[in-house]
Amino acid sequence: MKTRLSFSTKIHNPNHKIQTSTLLIFPIQTFLIQLLCSSLTPVSSNQTPPPLPILPLPTAFQLQWQNSNMALFFHFGTNTFTDSEWGTGQAHPTIFNPTKLNASQWIHVAKDTGFSRVLLTAKHHDGFCLWPSEYTDYSVRSSGWRNGNGDVVADVAAAAGEAGVGFGIYLSPWDRHELCYGDTLRYNQHYLAQMTELLTRYGEIKDVFLDGAKGEGEKNMKYFFESWFSLIHQLQPGAAIFSDSGPDTRWVGNEQGVAGSTCWSLFNQSVIEIGGVDNDPQYQKQGDPFGLDWVPALCDVSIRPGWFWHASEHPKSARKLLEIYYKSVGRNCKLLLNVPPNSSGLISAEDIQVLREFSELRHSIFSHNFAASASLNASSTRGGIQDTRFSPNKVLEEGIHTYWAPEENQSKWILYINLKKLVSFNVLQVQEPIHMGQRVIKFHLEALNRDGLWKSVVNGTTIGYQRLLLFPKLKSQYLKLVVDKSRAEPLISYLGIYLDPVTVLSEDMPDKKSGTYFNGTQVLRSAMKNDSQSATM
């Protein structure tokens, strides 16, 4: 008996017009075709094992780091009181006097607005220590604040621990106050001694932030980074170490909070030198599909023009932060947003207001996933449709540890989404189970328009932990997520469809013949109408 599957041919041809009567039963036909194909495959009593992970893979604490999405950075020290960014190291310690310092306020601002980790500048370039270090007199002990008995690091660590917020520290390698700076052996010993204090006195440390910043014409110094990394991992095995090149997380190459539109967690650490003036910022932004190391990118940016608090400066708007969110968290990165406490020792009210508005914007957009109750089918399912472990429905379960997996050796990787009703949307969220490796190289979203034609909506490259694509608003009920290219069989752990009513598309890249660009993704305008940035699909 011959079975005609003419509908299958039509559905994969984006230029073929589907008759109205066919359109109404599209999901059912797709499902029946899939069922028929799977019935031709012999059924085994043995379950199909999960696919092989593809190297490199993240460590357990790198997974935790990525899952936390966003962190707040607290730049605080003598610069807060001298109205400077890079202190000279000569400011008298008594200038440090935050009379109303309340670390619990800092932490609750972070937690209440969606930031699950915080980092503190325990020592910035000026060398002033926010804890009473035994290895210098240039610290809070000499400030007179709290009669020399204060400890900012202890306050923040305790407040974070009570609130269940992860705590991290920044310890500047460059020290403009310490006299032994420039003496390679002595200063490396000094630095490791201070690092040991921080890693052994204040409980669990989630993040250690290092950089290679140093002013032009300053003393030459060789940092023993490998020794530092080994000691940090020995004393705090769960801490993620950040620097230009890792070992655990890397700098994205700019301080605007913007990752590359293609952003791999794969990386070759040997290509980038910590503090190197010849580092390639594009390599840092984009990563390396052939990289041998797993080193995800961190996007750092300040809520204000400067990194330390200045009375004359004001915060960015909530909408600007949302735009940064799309270009950092939405591009497989973590956002590290600096919110500097003021000279009273508090987060300023105007900064808090912006953070609250930013939180409300995210909630208004991402609290309602139009795909949550969708019907899903796939071009194939690992183990056949009877194996629910790899079902396309897994992409509606939050978290990355469940996922849709296609059969091996397939030429098409497609998820069919029936939203069950006509909805307006303009945001796509996709996640990969990165504990299985980062796989997807290129993908796109299609929508079925009212004429029965499949139209491409938006193209993307890498996915990784999370990808958010923003495009002109459209209406549709039937969608296809198509993976065009992948390092191995693609695995999709989550899919979301949302409406962002506030963000205005900015054409921040040149127009191309086939479309325009926002958020580093190609927006295909084949179904665009007038100038309202909306289309009916």
Per-residue model confidence as pLDDT tens digits over 183-198: 999 999 999 999 999 9
Residue 16, pLDDT > 90, answer no
Fold of 60-367: TIM Barrel (3.20.20)
Give me the chain's average pLDDT, please.
88
- Count Cβ atoms within 10 A of the Cβ of residue 359 and give its class: 0-12 exposed, 13-18 middle, 19 or more buried: middle
| Cis peptide upstream of residue 289 (ω within 30 degrees of 0) | no
Residues 478/18, Cβ–Cβ less than 8 Å = no
Q: Which residue has the higher pLDDT, 504 or 200?
A: 200
Q: Which two tokens stand for residue 431?
A: 């996640």
Can you give the pLDDT at residue 45?
Answer: 54
Give the span between the Cα atoms of 380 and 339, in whole angstroms. 47
Indicate the pTM of the whole model.
0.87
pLDDT value, residue 392: 97
End-to-end Cα, the chain, rounded Å: 38
Decide if pLDDT at 524 tops 50. Answer: no
Over range 267-279, report the average pLDDT.
93
Q: pLDDT tens-digit profile of 205-255?
A: 999 999 988 888 889 899 999 999 999 999 999 999 999 999 999 999 999
Nearest to 326 by CA among 498, 518, 497: 518
CATH code of 375-498, in short, is: 2.60.120.260
pLDDT at 92 exceeding the cut of 70: yes
Which of 23-32, 69-78, 123-132 is least confident? Answer: 23-32
Torsion of CA 67, 287, 241, 305, to 10 degrees: -80
Cα–Cα dist 391/389, whole Å: 6
Distance CA 77, CA 71 (A): 19
The pLDDT, as a whole number, for residue 506 is: 65
Domain boundaries, the chain: 60-367, 375-498
Determine phi and psi for 17, rounding to 5 degrees: -85, 130
At residue 475, the pLDDT reads 96
Give me the pLDDT at residue 217, please.
86
Least reliable range by pLDDT among 10-24, 33-47, 311-325: 10-24
Integer Cα distance of 492 and 405 in angstroms:
7
Per-residue H/E/C for 480-505: EEEEEEECCCCCECEEEEECCCCCCC
**Which residue, chain included where needed, has tokens 């390396």?**
288
> In the numeric block, which tokens belong to residue 487?
């390092």
Q: Which residue has the higher pLDDT, 123 or 20?
A: 123
Q: What angle do CA 335, 340, 342 make, to 5 degrees?
A: 165
CB atoms within 10 A of CB 315: 20
Rounded to an integer, the average pLDDT of 141-157 is 97
Q: CA-to-CA distance for 208 and 214, rounded, in angstroms? A: 18
CA distance linking residue 193 with residue 198, whole number of Å: 9
